[in-house]
Amino acid sequence: MSRIANVDWSTIEGFEWDAGNREKNRHKHNVTTKECEEIFYNLPLYTVKDIYHSANEYRYKVLGQTNTRRLLAVAYTIRGERIRIISARDQSRSERKFYEKTKKNTEL
């Protein structure tokens, strides 16, 4: 998780959803589309490049929290001016540790 990515958020105009991914996240991980989108508006938000899944397009993983402070890990790509969510789930133990440590050491 050491490759913090710099994403130009000023160019993003919204979200794009694939029906299959939307349902997969809901059924497999009990994560709603609303929760996925919320984390992009709540600080702190940490984005890392996903170099292992970026063969055809750049992919990223973001660690963030929902409005109810649920900690999520969301994989996404950027298509045009939209964020396209690929998958979402609760943060793993190591991701939570990284998130909390980085949050503690970062001034907002």
> How confident is the model over 36-49, as pLDDT tens digits?
999 999 988 898 88
Q: Alpha helix (H) ranges present in the chain?
A: 19-29, 33-38, 93-104
Number of domains in the chain: 1
| pLDDT reading at 11 higher than 90 | no
Phi and psi (nearest 5°) for 42?
-115, 135
Indicate the SS3 state at residue 39: helix
Flag whether 61 is in a domain: yes
Q: Tell me which DSSP letter residue 31 carries.
A: -
Check residue 104 and give its pLDDT.
Answer: 84
| pLDDT reading at 19 higher than 70 | yes
Flag whether 4 is in a domain: no
Phi and psi (nearest 5°) for 88?
-150, 140
Using an 8 Å Cβ cutoff, are 37 and 88 in contact? no
Domain that holds residue 86: 9-104
> How confident is the model over 52-108, as pLDDT tens digits?
666 778 899 999 999 999 999 999 999 999 999 999 999 999 999 999 998 888 755
Flag whether 1 is in a domain: no
The structure's pTM equals 0.84
Flag whether 16 is in a domain: yes
